[in-house]
Chains A and B, each alone.
Chain A
Protein backbone atom coordinates (compact mmCIF):
# COMPACT_ATOMS: atom_id res chain seq x y z
CA UNK A 1 0.00 0.00 0.00
CA UNK A 2 2.62 2.53 1.08
CA UNK A 3 5.00 1.02 -1.46
CA UNK A 4 2.51 1.54 -4.26
CA UNK A 5 1.97 5.10 -3.18
CA UNK A 6 5.71 5.72 -3.01
CA UNK A 7 6.08 4.26 -6.48
CA UNK A 8 3.32 6.54 -7.73
CA UNK A 9 5.05 9.63 -6.40
CA UNK A 10 8.34 8.38 -7.79
CA UNK A 11 6.87 8.01 -11.26
CA UNK A 12 5.34 11.43 -10.92
CA UNK A 13 8.77 12.77 -9.99
CA UNK A 14 10.38 11.30 -13.09
CA UNK A 15 7.52 12.60 -15.23
CA UNK A 16 8.00 16.08 -13.78
CA UNK A 17 11.67 15.92 -14.59
CA UNK A 18 10.85 15.00 -18.19
CA UNK A 19 8.30 17.80 -18.29
CA UNK A 20 10.86 20.23 -16.91
CA UNK A 21 13.40 19.15 -19.53
CA UNK A 22 10.97 19.45 -22.43
CA UNK A 23 9.35 22.58 -21.02
CA UNK A 24 12.65 24.36 -20.69
CA UNK A 25 13.70 23.12 -24.08
CA UNK A 26 10.53 24.64 -25.48
CA UNK A 27 10.94 28.09 -23.98
CA UNK A 28 14.68 28.33 -23.37
CA UNK A 29 16.93 30.03 -25.96
CA UNK A 30 18.91 27.66 -28.16
CA UNK A 31 22.18 29.31 -27.11
CA UNK A 32 21.27 29.47 -23.45
CA UNK A 33 21.35 32.54 -21.28
CA UNK A 34 24.84 33.97 -21.12
CA UNK A 35 26.11 36.88 -19.09
CA UNK A 36 29.41 38.68 -19.48
CA UNK A 37 29.94 37.51 -23.04
CA UNK A 38 32.53 39.77 -24.66
CA UNK A 39 32.05 38.26 -28.09
CA UNK A 40 35.07 36.00 -28.02
CA UNK A 41 34.72 32.26 -28.03
CA UNK A 42 33.94 30.62 -24.73
CA UNK A 43 33.64 33.89 -22.84
CA UNK A 44 30.88 34.70 -20.40
CA UNK A 45 29.05 32.54 -17.96
CA UNK A 46 26.09 30.48 -18.98
CA UNK A 47 23.31 30.83 -16.48
CA UNK A 48 20.78 28.68 -18.27
CA UNK A 49 21.82 25.85 -20.53
CA UNK A 50 21.61 25.66 -24.27
CA UNK A 51 18.52 23.97 -25.59
CA UNK A 52 19.47 22.99 -29.12
CA UNK A 53 19.35 19.38 -30.22
CA UNK A 54 22.98 18.63 -29.52
CA UNK A 55 22.75 19.91 -25.95
CA UNK A 56 19.29 18.73 -24.98
CA UNK A 57 17.83 16.13 -27.28
CA UNK A 58 14.10 15.50 -26.96
CA UNK A 59 13.26 12.81 -24.48
CA UNK A 60 11.33 10.94 -27.14
CA UNK A 61 14.35 11.11 -29.44
CA UNK A 62 16.46 9.52 -26.72
CA UNK A 63 13.84 6.84 -26.30
CA UNK A 64 13.43 6.25 -30.04
CA UNK A 65 17.19 6.13 -30.46
CA UNK A 66 17.26 3.11 -28.16
CA UNK A 67 15.49 1.09 -30.82
CA UNK A 68 17.64 2.16 -33.72
CA UNK A 69 20.76 0.35 -34.69
CA UNK A 70 23.69 1.18 -32.44
CA UNK A 71 26.07 2.46 -35.09
CA UNK A 72 24.31 1.91 -38.38
CA UNK A 73 24.92 -0.98 -40.71
CA UNK A 74 23.88 -4.31 -39.26
CA UNK A 75 24.77 -3.38 -35.68
CA UNK A 76 22.08 -4.39 -33.19
CA UNK A 77 19.54 -1.94 -31.75
CA UNK A 78 21.09 0.38 -29.19
CA UNK A 79 19.02 -1.03 -26.37
CA UNK A 80 20.33 -4.52 -27.07
CA UNK A 81 23.94 -3.37 -27.15
CA UNK A 82 23.40 -1.42 -23.96
CA UNK A 83 21.79 -4.39 -22.25
CA UNK A 84 24.62 -6.70 -23.26
CA UNK A 85 27.24 -4.22 -22.14
CA UNK A 86 25.37 -3.61 -18.90
CA UNK A 87 25.33 -7.31 -18.14
CA UNK A 88 29.08 -7.57 -18.49
CA UNK A 89 29.61 -4.44 -16.43
CA UNK A 90 27.24 -5.73 -13.77
CA UNK A 91 29.11 -9.01 -13.56
CA UNK A 92 32.43 -7.26 -13.07
CA UNK A 93 30.88 -4.83 -10.60
CA UNK A 94 29.59 -7.78 -8.60
CA UNK A 95 33.08 -9.22 -8.47
CA UNK A 96 34.46 -5.81 -7.55
CA UNK A 97 31.91 -5.56 -4.78
CA UNK A 98 32.84 -8.99 -3.46
CA UNK A 99 36.50 -8.01 -3.36
CA UNK A 100 35.64 -4.67 -1.81
CA UNK A 101 33.42 -6.21 0.83
CA UNK A 102 36.03 -8.81 1.70
CA UNK A 103 38.75 -6.22 2.09
CA UNK A 104 36.44 -3.75 3.82
CA UNK A 105 35.17 -6.30 6.30
CA UNK A 106 38.67 -7.51 7.03
CA UNK A 107 39.83 -3.96 7.67
CA UNK A 108 36.77 -3.26 9.79
CA UNK A 109 37.39 -6.36 11.89
CA UNK A 110 41.06 -5.61 12.36
CA UNK A 111 40.42 -2.00 13.26
CA UNK A 112 37.72 -2.94 15.72
CA UNK A 113 39.85 -5.61 17.33
CA UNK A 114 42.95 -3.50 17.80
CA UNK A 115 42.59 0.17 18.55
CA UNK A 116 46.16 0.67 17.41
CA UNK A 117 45.20 -0.71 14.00
CA UNK A 118 42.31 1.72 13.83
CA UNK A 119 44.57 4.64 14.61
CA UNK A 120 47.15 3.45 12.15
CA UNK A 121 44.83 2.57 9.28
CA UNK A 122 41.75 4.76 9.38
CA UNK A 123 43.42 8.03 8.40
CA UNK A 124 45.00 6.31 5.42
CA UNK A 125 41.74 4.71 4.43
CA UNK A 126 40.24 8.18 4.35
CA UNK A 127 43.19 9.56 2.41
CA UNK A 128 42.92 6.69 -0.05
CA UNK A 129 39.60 8.04 -1.24
CA UNK A 130 41.17 11.33 -2.28
CA UNK A 131 43.31 9.55 -4.86
CA UNK A 132 41.49 9.76 -8.18
CA UNK A 133 40.68 6.50 -9.88
CA UNK A 134 41.96 7.79 -13.20
CA UNK A 135 45.42 8.16 -11.71
CA UNK A 136 45.97 4.61 -10.68
CA UNK A 137 43.62 2.64 -12.92
CA UNK A 138 46.35 2.38 -15.58
CA UNK A 139 48.81 1.30 -12.88
CA UNK A 140 46.55 -1.52 -11.76
CA UNK A 141 45.99 -2.53 -15.36
CA UNK A 142 49.70 -2.54 -15.94
CA UNK A 143 50.43 -4.59 -12.83
CA UNK A 144 47.73 -6.99 -13.95
CA UNK A 145 49.41 -7.36 -17.31
CA UNK A 146 52.72 -7.91 -15.54
CA UNK A 147 51.22 -10.75 -13.52
CA UNK A 148 49.62 -12.15 -16.65
CA UNK A 149 52.95 -12.12 -18.45
CA UNK A 150 54.50 -13.76 -15.42
CA UNK A 151 52.41 -16.83 -16.14
CA UNK A 152 49.49 -16.36 -13.77
CA UNK A 153 46.50 -15.62 -15.98
CA UNK A 154 45.15 -12.17 -15.15
CA UNK A 155 42.36 -11.16 -17.51
CA UNK A 156 41.64 -7.49 -17.99
CA UNK A 157 38.26 -7.72 -16.28
CA UNK A 158 40.04 -8.73 -13.12
CA UNK A 159 41.96 -5.47 -13.18
CA UNK A 160 38.69 -3.64 -13.70
CA UNK A 161 37.14 -5.45 -10.75
CA UNK A 162 40.12 -4.60 -8.56
CA UNK A 163 39.89 -0.94 -9.54
CA UNK A 164 36.15 -0.95 -8.78
CA UNK A 165 36.76 -2.59 -5.42
CA UNK A 166 38.86 0.43 -4.50
CA UNK A 167 35.71 2.52 -4.43
CA UNK A 168 33.58 -0.24 -2.92
CA UNK A 169 35.74 -1.14 0.05
CA UNK A 170 35.70 2.29 1.66
CA UNK A 171 32.11 2.55 2.85
CA UNK A 172 32.22 -1.09 3.90
CA UNK A 173 35.35 -0.64 6.00
CA UNK A 174 33.97 2.44 7.72
CA UNK A 175 30.50 0.94 8.11
CA UNK A 176 31.88 -2.33 9.47
CA UNK A 177 34.02 -0.53 12.00
CA UNK A 178 31.12 1.58 13.15
CA UNK A 179 28.77 -1.39 13.15
CA UNK A 180 31.09 -3.68 15.05
CA UNK A 181 31.52 -0.98 17.65
CA UNK A 182 27.81 -0.28 17.86
CA UNK A 183 26.79 -2.78 20.57
CA UNK A 184 25.84 -1.11 23.82
CA UNK A 185 28.13 -1.33 26.78
CA UNK A 186 25.43 -3.34 28.52
CA UNK A 187 25.55 -6.03 25.83
CA UNK A 188 29.30 -6.19 25.97
CA UNK A 189 29.16 -6.48 29.75
CA UNK A 190 26.63 -9.24 29.37
CA UNK A 191 28.88 -11.19 27.05
CA UNK A 192 31.77 -10.63 29.41
CA UNK A 193 29.67 -11.90 32.29
CA UNK A 194 29.13 -15.07 30.26
CA UNK A 195 32.91 -15.34 29.91
CA UNK A 196 32.39 -15.31 26.14
CA UNK A 197 35.54 -15.02 24.06
CA UNK A 198 36.26 -12.72 21.11
CA UNK A 199 34.90 -15.14 18.54
CA UNK A 200 31.64 -15.78 20.38
CA UNK A 201 31.13 -12.09 21.02
CA UNK A 202 31.78 -11.38 17.37
CA UNK A 203 29.37 -13.98 16.09
CA UNK A 204 26.59 -13.54 18.61
CA UNK A 205 26.77 -9.83 19.20
CA UNK A 206 29.01 -7.65 17.08
CA UNK A 207 28.16 -9.01 13.66
CA UNK A 208 24.39 -9.09 14.14
CA UNK A 209 24.51 -5.64 15.70
CA UNK A 210 26.48 -4.28 12.77
CA UNK A 211 23.83 -5.19 10.19
CA UNK A 212 22.02 -1.84 10.34
CA UNK A 213 25.34 -0.09 9.71
CA UNK A 214 26.51 -2.55 7.10
CA UNK A 215 23.46 -2.39 4.86
CA UNK A 216 23.75 1.29 3.93
CA UNK A 217 27.49 0.79 3.58
CA UNK A 218 26.91 -2.11 1.22
CA UNK A 219 24.40 -0.10 -0.76
CA UNK A 220 26.94 2.66 -1.21
CA UNK A 221 29.59 0.09 -1.96
CA UNK A 222 27.46 -1.53 -4.65
CA UNK A 223 26.71 1.77 -6.34
CA UNK A 224 30.39 2.70 -6.08
CA UNK A 225 31.40 -0.62 -7.60
CA UNK A 226 29.29 0.08 -10.67
CA UNK A 227 30.69 3.60 -10.98
CA UNK A 228 34.18 2.24 -10.51
CA UNK A 229 33.77 -0.38 -13.21
CA UNK A 230 32.47 2.19 -15.68
CA UNK A 231 35.37 4.53 -15.01
CA UNK A 232 37.87 1.70 -15.13
CA UNK A 233 36.45 0.49 -18.42
CA UNK A 234 36.80 3.97 -19.83
CA UNK A 235 40.29 4.25 -18.49
CA UNK A 236 41.70 0.95 -19.63
CA UNK A 237 39.39 0.56 -22.57
CA UNK A 238 38.10 -2.85 -21.71
CA UNK A 239 35.95 -4.26 -24.45
CA UNK A 240 32.28 -5.10 -24.10
CA UNK A 241 31.27 -3.02 -21.13
CA UNK A 242 29.28 0.15 -20.68
CA UNK A 243 32.30 2.32 -20.03
CA UNK A 244 33.87 1.91 -23.42
CA UNK A 245 30.48 2.20 -25.04
CA UNK A 246 30.06 5.52 -23.29
CA UNK A 247 33.19 7.04 -24.78
CA UNK A 248 32.59 5.46 -28.13
CA UNK A 249 29.09 6.88 -28.48
CA UNK A 250 30.21 10.19 -26.98
CA UNK A 251 32.39 10.37 -30.08
CA UNK A 252 29.33 10.77 -32.23
CA UNK A 253 27.52 13.16 -29.94
CA UNK A 254 27.67 15.94 -32.51
CA UNK A 255 25.91 14.15 -35.32
CA UNK A 256 23.87 11.76 -33.21
CA UNK A 257 23.26 13.49 -29.88
CA UNK A 258 20.68 11.02 -28.60
CA UNK A 259 23.05 8.06 -28.85
CA UNK A 260 25.22 8.70 -25.74
CA UNK A 261 22.11 8.77 -23.60
CA UNK A 262 21.65 5.04 -24.20
CA UNK A 263 24.65 3.91 -22.19
CA UNK A 264 24.02 6.69 -19.65
CA UNK A 265 20.57 5.30 -18.96
CA UNK A 266 22.14 1.87 -18.94
CA UNK A 267 24.60 2.78 -16.24
CA UNK A 268 21.97 4.53 -14.15
CA UNK A 269 19.72 1.49 -14.31
CA UNK A 270 22.68 -0.66 -13.43
CA UNK A 271 23.53 1.48 -10.42
CA UNK A 272 19.95 1.29 -9.26
CA UNK A 273 19.91 -2.48 -9.70
CA UNK A 274 23.10 -2.78 -7.69
CA UNK A 275 21.79 -0.60 -4.88
CA UNK A 276 18.39 -2.28 -5.08
CA UNK A 277 19.85 -5.75 -4.71
CA UNK A 278 21.25 -4.65 -1.38
CA UNK A 279 17.77 -3.55 -0.39
CA UNK A 280 16.62 -7.10 -1.15
CA UNK A 281 19.43 -8.40 1.02
CA UNK A 282 18.15 -6.02 3.71
CA UNK A 283 14.75 -7.67 3.58
CA UNK A 284 16.43 -11.01 4.16
CA UNK A 285 18.21 -9.60 7.18
CA UNK A 286 15.09 -7.94 8.51
CA UNK A 287 15.32 -9.45 11.94
CA UNK A 288 18.69 -7.81 12.50
CA UNK A 289 17.20 -4.42 11.77
CA UNK A 290 14.55 -4.47 14.46
CA UNK A 291 16.38 -1.84 16.44
CA UNK A 292 16.37 0.59 13.51
CA UNK A 293 12.83 1.86 13.80
CA UNK A 294 13.38 3.25 17.25
CA UNK A 295 16.67 4.86 16.34
Chain B
Protein backbone atom coordinates (compact mmCIF):
# COMPACT_ATOMS: atom_id res chain seq x y z
CA UNK B 1 0.00 0.00 0.00
CA UNK B 2 2.95 2.26 0.40
CA UNK B 3 3.61 2.40 -3.34
CA UNK B 4 1.70 5.57 -4.13
CA UNK B 5 3.04 7.23 -1.04
CA UNK B 6 6.57 6.40 -2.05
CA UNK B 7 5.87 7.58 -5.57
CA UNK B 8 4.97 11.00 -4.34
CA UNK B 9 8.24 11.37 -2.53
CA UNK B 10 10.32 10.34 -5.56
CA UNK B 11 12.08 13.30 -7.10
CA UNK B 12 11.04 14.02 -10.66
CA UNK B 13 14.49 13.49 -12.08
CA UNK B 14 14.18 9.83 -11.06
CA UNK B 15 11.93 9.41 -14.09
CA UNK B 16 14.91 9.90 -16.34
CA UNK B 17 17.65 8.60 -14.15
CA UNK B 18 15.89 5.28 -13.46
CA UNK B 19 15.81 4.00 -17.06
CA UNK B 20 19.27 5.31 -17.74
CA UNK B 21 20.48 3.59 -14.58
CA UNK B 22 18.89 0.34 -15.67
CA UNK B 23 20.56 0.70 -19.04
CA UNK B 24 23.95 1.33 -17.49
CA UNK B 25 23.59 -1.65 -15.16
CA UNK B 26 22.47 -3.81 -18.08
CA UNK B 27 25.44 -2.73 -20.17
CA UNK B 28 27.81 -3.32 -17.27
CA UNK B 29 26.49 -6.86 -16.78
CA UNK B 30 26.78 -7.45 -20.49
CA UNK B 31 30.37 -6.25 -20.56
CA UNK B 32 31.07 -8.38 -17.50
CA UNK B 33 29.57 -11.44 -19.15
CA UNK B 34 31.27 -10.98 -22.49
CA UNK B 35 34.53 -9.12 -21.92
CA UNK B 36 35.47 -9.86 -18.34
CA UNK B 37 34.21 -13.39 -17.79
CA UNK B 38 34.52 -14.24 -21.50
CA UNK B 39 31.68 -16.64 -20.92
CA UNK B 40 29.45 -15.62 -23.80
CA UNK B 41 29.10 -17.53 -27.04
CA UNK B 42 30.77 -15.94 -30.07
CA UNK B 43 27.39 -14.88 -31.40
CA UNK B 44 26.98 -12.44 -28.54
CA UNK B 45 29.62 -9.77 -28.93
CA UNK B 46 30.52 -7.11 -26.42
CA UNK B 47 28.54 -3.88 -26.53
CA UNK B 48 31.81 -2.08 -27.01
CA UNK B 49 32.52 -4.04 -30.18
CA UNK B 50 28.97 -3.40 -31.37
CA UNK B 51 29.38 0.29 -30.74
CA UNK B 52 32.62 0.35 -32.70
CA UNK B 53 31.04 -1.40 -35.65
CA UNK B 54 28.07 0.91 -35.46
CA UNK B 55 30.30 3.94 -35.78
CA UNK B 56 32.62 2.38 -38.33
CA UNK B 57 29.89 1.07 -40.63
CA UNK B 58 27.27 3.69 -39.95
CA UNK B 59 26.92 4.65 -43.61
CA UNK B 60 26.02 1.18 -44.86
CA UNK B 61 23.83 0.54 -41.81
CA UNK B 62 22.04 3.82 -42.41
CA UNK B 63 21.35 2.88 -46.02
CA UNK B 64 19.77 -0.39 -45.00
CA UNK B 65 17.87 1.36 -42.21
CA UNK B 66 16.28 3.65 -44.79
CA UNK B 67 15.12 0.67 -46.81
CA UNK B 68 13.67 -1.21 -43.86
CA UNK B 69 12.12 1.94 -42.43
CA UNK B 70 10.49 2.88 -45.71
CA UNK B 71 9.11 -0.64 -46.14
CA UNK B 72 7.75 -0.55 -42.61
CA UNK B 73 6.30 2.90 -43.13
CA UNK B 74 4.58 2.01 -46.40
CA UNK B 75 3.26 -1.18 -44.84
CA UNK B 76 2.10 0.65 -41.75
CA UNK B 77 0.35 3.34 -43.76
CA UNK B 78 -1.31 0.97 -46.19
CA UNK B 79 -2.21 -1.60 -43.57
CA UNK B 80 -3.69 1.05 -41.30
CA UNK B 81 -5.66 2.63 -44.11
CA UNK B 82 -7.16 -0.68 -45.12
CA UNK B 83 -7.78 -1.54 -41.48
CA UNK B 84 -9.68 1.71 -40.97
CA UNK B 85 -11.77 1.03 -44.05
CA UNK B 86 -12.58 -2.49 -42.99
CA UNK B 87 -13.31 -1.39 -39.44
CA UNK B 88 -15.69 1.25 -40.75
CA UNK B 89 -17.50 -1.35 -42.83
CA UNK B 90 -17.55 -3.85 -39.97
CA UNK B 91 -18.87 -1.22 -37.57
CA UNK B 92 -21.65 -0.30 -39.97
CA UNK B 93 -22.66 -3.79 -41.01
CA UNK B 94 -22.72 -6.14 -38.07
CA UNK B 95 -22.59 -9.31 -40.21
CA UNK B 96 -19.38 -8.14 -41.85
CA UNK B 97 -17.92 -7.89 -38.37
CA UNK B 98 -18.85 -11.51 -37.78
CA UNK B 99 -17.48 -12.55 -41.14
CA UNK B 100 -14.17 -10.80 -40.61
CA UNK B 101 -13.70 -12.11 -37.08
CA UNK B 102 -12.25 -15.53 -37.95
CA UNK B 103 -10.13 -14.11 -40.74
CA UNK B 104 -8.65 -11.44 -38.51
CA UNK B 105 -8.04 -14.00 -35.76
CA UNK B 106 -6.27 -16.26 -38.24
CA UNK B 107 -4.22 -13.42 -39.71
CA UNK B 108 -3.05 -12.54 -36.22
CA UNK B 109 -1.46 -15.96 -35.77
CA UNK B 110 0.09 -16.53 -39.21
CA UNK B 111 3.86 -16.78 -38.84
CA UNK B 112 5.70 -14.21 -40.94
CA UNK B 113 8.25 -16.80 -41.99
CA UNK B 114 5.43 -18.80 -43.53
CA UNK B 115 3.66 -16.16 -45.55
CA UNK B 116 6.61 -14.14 -46.77
CA UNK B 117 7.67 -16.71 -49.38
CA UNK B 118 4.09 -16.95 -50.55
CA UNK B 119 3.70 -13.19 -50.81
CA UNK B 120 7.02 -13.02 -52.62
CA UNK B 121 5.74 -15.50 -55.15
CA UNK B 122 2.42 -13.73 -55.52
CA UNK B 123 3.86 -10.23 -55.77
CA UNK B 124 7.36 -10.72 -57.11
CA UNK B 125 10.47 -11.64 -55.20
CA UNK B 126 12.55 -8.76 -56.48
CA UNK B 127 10.30 -5.98 -55.31
CA UNK B 128 9.99 -4.65 -51.82
CA UNK B 129 6.31 -5.34 -52.09
CA UNK B 130 6.37 -8.62 -50.21
CA UNK B 131 7.98 -6.94 -47.21
CA UNK B 132 5.62 -4.02 -47.33
CA UNK B 133 2.71 -6.43 -47.54
CA UNK B 134 3.95 -8.35 -44.53
CA UNK B 135 4.40 -5.13 -42.57
CA UNK B 136 0.95 -4.04 -43.72
CA UNK B 137 -0.60 -7.31 -42.69
CA UNK B 138 0.85 -7.19 -39.19
CA UNK B 139 -0.08 -3.53 -38.84
CA UNK B 140 -3.61 -4.27 -40.00
CA UNK B 141 -4.54 -6.38 -36.99
CA UNK B 142 -4.07 -3.95 -34.07
CA UNK B 143 -5.36 -1.00 -36.06
CA UNK B 144 -8.45 -2.89 -37.16
CA UNK B 145 -9.19 -4.23 -33.69
CA UNK B 146 -8.73 -0.87 -32.01
CA UNK B 147 -10.56 1.23 -34.58
CA UNK B 148 -13.46 -1.20 -34.58
CA UNK B 149 -13.62 -0.88 -30.82
CA UNK B 150 -13.31 2.88 -31.10
CA UNK B 151 -16.15 3.10 -33.57
CA UNK B 152 -18.36 1.45 -30.99
CA UNK B 153 -17.41 3.89 -28.26
CA UNK B 154 -19.80 6.70 -29.00
CA UNK B 155 -21.93 7.16 -25.90
CA UNK B 156 -25.72 6.98 -26.06
CA UNK B 157 -26.00 10.58 -24.95
CA UNK B 158 -23.86 11.71 -27.89
CA UNK B 159 -25.80 9.58 -30.32
CA UNK B 160 -29.07 10.97 -28.97
CA UNK B 161 -27.71 14.47 -29.26
CA UNK B 162 -26.80 14.06 -32.91
CA UNK B 163 -30.14 12.51 -33.65
CA UNK B 164 -31.94 15.31 -31.82
CA UNK B 165 -30.23 17.95 -33.90
CA UNK B 166 -31.13 16.05 -37.03
CA UNK B 167 -27.56 15.28 -38.14
CA UNK B 168 -27.19 13.11 -41.21
CA UNK B 169 -25.36 9.79 -41.07
CA UNK B 170 -22.39 11.31 -42.78
CA UNK B 171 -22.31 14.26 -40.39
CA UNK B 172 -22.59 11.93 -37.43
CA UNK B 173 -19.66 9.91 -38.70
CA UNK B 174 -17.50 12.93 -39.40
CA UNK B 175 -18.26 14.92 -36.29
CA UNK B 176 -18.92 12.22 -33.73
CA UNK B 177 -18.00 8.66 -34.60
CA UNK B 178 -14.65 9.39 -36.16
CA UNK B 179 -13.38 11.84 -33.52
CA UNK B 180 -14.45 9.37 -30.83
CA UNK B 181 -12.53 6.58 -32.54
CA UNK B 182 -9.45 8.73 -33.14
CA UNK B 183 -7.70 7.94 -29.84
CA UNK B 184 -8.31 4.27 -30.50
CA UNK B 185 -6.85 4.65 -33.95
CA UNK B 186 -3.70 6.19 -32.53
CA UNK B 187 -3.43 3.47 -29.91
CA UNK B 188 -3.70 0.91 -32.69
CA UNK B 189 -1.07 2.77 -34.67
CA UNK B 190 1.28 2.82 -31.72
CA UNK B 191 1.02 -0.93 -31.31
CA UNK B 192 1.21 -1.47 -35.06
CA UNK B 193 4.29 0.69 -35.52
CA UNK B 194 6.75 -1.55 -33.69
CA UNK B 195 5.16 -4.64 -35.19
CA UNK B 196 5.48 -3.24 -38.69
CA UNK B 197 9.19 -2.62 -38.23
CA UNK B 198 9.86 -6.04 -36.76
CA UNK B 199 7.90 -7.84 -39.43
CA UNK B 200 9.42 -5.90 -42.31
CA UNK B 201 12.76 -6.89 -40.89
CA UNK B 202 11.88 -10.55 -40.48
CA UNK B 203 10.40 -10.59 -43.98
CA UNK B 204 13.71 -9.41 -45.43
CA UNK B 205 15.29 -12.38 -43.81
CA UNK B 206 12.94 -14.68 -45.77
CA UNK B 207 13.91 -13.50 -49.25
CA UNK B 208 13.48 -10.56 -51.59
CA UNK B 209 16.03 -7.93 -52.60
CA UNK B 210 19.31 -8.43 -50.78
CA UNK B 211 19.09 -5.23 -48.79
CA UNK B 212 17.61 -3.95 -45.56
CA UNK B 213 18.45 -4.54 -41.94
CA UNK B 214 17.05 -8.06 -41.74
CA UNK B 215 19.10 -9.35 -44.66
CA UNK B 216 22.24 -7.79 -43.24
CA UNK B 217 21.69 -9.19 -39.76
CA UNK B 218 21.38 -12.71 -41.09
CA UNK B 219 24.27 -12.37 -43.56
CA UNK B 220 26.73 -11.04 -41.08
CA UNK B 221 25.60 -13.22 -38.21
CA UNK B 222 26.24 -16.26 -40.37
CA UNK B 223 29.67 -15.18 -41.49
CA UNK B 224 31.16 -14.65 -38.08
CA UNK B 225 30.69 -10.85 -38.10
CA UNK B 226 28.62 -10.96 -34.94
CA UNK B 227 29.45 -7.42 -33.88
CA UNK B 228 28.45 -6.02 -37.26
CA UNK B 229 25.27 -8.08 -37.22
CA UNK B 230 24.41 -6.65 -33.82
CA UNK B 231 25.25 -3.16 -35.00
CA UNK B 232 22.54 -3.75 -37.59
CA UNK B 233 20.25 -4.97 -34.81
CA UNK B 234 20.85 -1.66 -33.09
CA UNK B 235 19.88 0.01 -36.36
CA UNK B 236 16.66 -1.97 -36.33
CA UNK B 237 16.00 -0.98 -32.71
CA UNK B 238 16.53 2.67 -33.63
CA UNK B 239 13.93 2.40 -36.39
CA UNK B 240 11.53 0.65 -34.03
CA UNK B 241 12.05 3.30 -31.38
CA UNK B 242 11.58 6.13 -33.85
CA UNK B 243 8.32 4.61 -35.02
CA UNK B 244 7.21 4.01 -31.45
CA UNK B 245 8.02 7.50 -30.26
CA UNK B 246 6.28 9.20 -33.17
CA UNK B 247 3.13 7.12 -32.82
CA UNK B 248 3.18 7.38 -29.03
CA UNK B 249 3.33 11.16 -29.38
CA UNK B 250 0.42 10.97 -31.80
CA UNK B 251 -1.49 8.88 -29.31
CA UNK B 252 -0.75 11.33 -26.53
CA UNK B 253 -1.99 14.16 -28.70
CA UNK B 254 -5.20 12.34 -29.56
CA UNK B 255 -6.03 11.07 -26.07
CA UNK B 256 -5.43 14.44 -24.47
CA UNK B 257 -9.07 15.38 -24.75
CA UNK B 258 -10.55 11.92 -24.69
CA UNK B 259 -13.40 11.43 -22.24
CA UNK B 260 -12.19 9.79 -19.07
Are any A and B Cβ atoms less than 8 Å apart in their complex? yes
Where the two chains meet, the residues of A that have a C-beta atom closer than 8 Å to any C-beta of B are 5-6, 8-14, 16-17, 32, 34, 41-46, 49-50, 54-56, 112-116, 119-124, 126-127, 129-135, 138-139, 142-143, 145-146, 188, 191-192, 196-198, 201, 223, 226-227, 230-231, 234, 243, 246-247, 250, 253, 260, 263-264, 267-268, 270-272, 274-275
B202 and A231 within 8 A (CB): yes
Q: A139-B43, A272-B105 are in contact. Are A123 and B7 (CB under 8 A)?
A: no
The minimal Cβ–Cβ distance linking A182 to chain B, given in whole angstroms, is: 14
B121 and A55 within 8 A (CB): yes
Q: Mark B203-247, 1 if CB is under 8 A from A, else 0.
A: 001000000001001100100000001100100110111001000
A17 and B127 within 8 A (CB): no
Interface residue from B10, B110, B239 paired with A268 (Cβ < 8 Å) = B110
Interface residue from A42, A113, A134, A191 paired with B126 (Cβ < 8 Å) = A42
Q: How far does the alpha carbon of A124 sit from the alpha carbon of B24 in the complex, in Å? A: 12
The minimal Cβ–Cβ distance linking A269 to chain B, given in whole angstroms, is: 9
Residues of A within 8 A of B230 (CB): 135
Residues of B within 8 A of A272 (CB): 105-106, 109
A129 and B194 within 8 A (CB): yes
For A113, the closest partner residue in chain B by CB is B3
Of B57-65, B92-100, B251-259, the segment with at least 4 beta carbons within 8 Å of chain A is B92-100
Q: How far does the alpha carbon of A223 sit from the alpha carbon of B110 in the complex, in Å? A: 10
Is B125 an interface residue when CB atoms closer than 8 A count as contact?
Answer: yes
A263 and B114 within 8 A (CB): yes
Of B15-23, B154-162, B164-172, B177-185, the segment with at least 4 beta carbons within 8 Å of chain A is B15-23
Interface of B is mostly: helix
Q: How far does the alpha carbon of A14 sit from the alpha carbon of B105 in the complex, in Å? A: 11
What would 20 more interface pairs be, CB under 8 Å, given A13-B103, A115-B3? A6-B101, A12-B99, A42-B126, A42-B127, A46-B122, A55-B118, A55-B122, A114-B6, A116-B10, A121-B22, A129-B194, A130-B237, A130-B244, A131-B237, A132-B233, A134-B205, A135-B229, A138-B43, A267-B110, A267-B114
How many A-B pairs with Cβ below 8 Å? 201
Interface residue from A115, A126, A134, A196 paired with B7 (Cβ < 8 Å) = A115
Please indicate which of the listed interface residues B23, B108, B129 has the most CB atoms of chain A within 10 Å of its own CB.
B108
B99 and A45 within 8 A (CB): no
B98 and A9 within 8 A (CB): yes
The minimal Cβ–Cβ distance linking A51 to chain B, given in whole angstroms, is: 9
B109 and A139 within 8 A (CB): no
B202 and A198 within 8 A (CB): no
Interface size on B, residues (CB 8 A): 68
Q: A13-B99, A134-B218, A271-B109 are in contact. Are A197 and B21 (CB under 8 A)?
A: no
Where the two chains meet, the residues of B that have a C-beta atom closer than 8 Å to any C-beta of A are 1-4, 6-7, 10, 14-15, 18-19, 21-23, 26, 39-44, 95, 97-103, 105-106, 108-115, 117-118, 121-127, 129, 194, 197-198, 201-202, 205, 214, 217-218, 221, 229-230, 233, 236-237, 239-241, 244
The minimal Cβ–Cβ distance linking A50 to chain B, given in whole angstroms, is: 6
For B45, the closest partner residue in chain A by CB is A139
A230 and B114 within 8 A (CB): yes
Residues of B within 8 A of A8 (CB): 98
A127 and B117 within 8 A (CB): no
The minimal Cβ–Cβ distance linking B101 to chain A, given in whole angstroms, is: 6
B41 and A146 within 8 A (CB): yes
B244 and A264 within 8 A (CB): no
Residues of A within 8 A of B110 (CB): 264, 267-268, 271
Residues of A within 8 A of B19 (CB): 119-124
B241 and A133 within 8 A (CB): no
Q: A146-B41, A226-B109, A275-B109 are in contact. Are A50 and B3 (CB under 8 A)?
A: no
Can you list 10 A-B pairs, Cβ within 8 angstroms, ordered by A? A12-B99, A13-B98, A130-B244, A131-B236, A142-B41, A143-B44, A230-B114, A234-B113, A246-B113, A272-B105
Residues of B within 8 A of A227 (CB): 109, 111-112
Q: How far does the alpha carbon of A16 sit from the alpha carbon of B115 in the complex, in Å? A: 20
Q: How far does the alpha carbon of A114 sit from the alpha carbon of B229 in the complex, in Å? A: 36
Residues of A within 8 A of B197 (CB): 130
B22 and A120 within 8 A (CB): yes
Q: A9-B95, A119-B14, A230-B114 are in contact. Are A132 and B1 (CB under 8 A)?
A: no
B1 and A188 within 8 A (CB): yes
Q: How far does the alpha carbon of A130 sit from the alpha carbon of B102 in the complex, in Å? A: 28
The minimal Cβ–Cβ distance linking B181 to chain A, given in whole angstroms, is: 17
Q: How far does the alpha carbon of A276 sit from the alpha carbon of B205 in the complex, in Å? A: 30
B99 and A223 within 8 A (CB): no
Residues of B within 8 A of A133 (CB): 202
Q: How far does the alpha carbon of A139 sit from the alpha carbon of B46 in the complex, in Å? A: 13
Q: Which 4 A-B pairs have the closest CB atoms?
A: A271-B109, A42-B126, A9-B98, A130-B240
Residues of B within 8 A of A146 (CB): 39, 41
B10 and A115 within 8 A (CB): yes
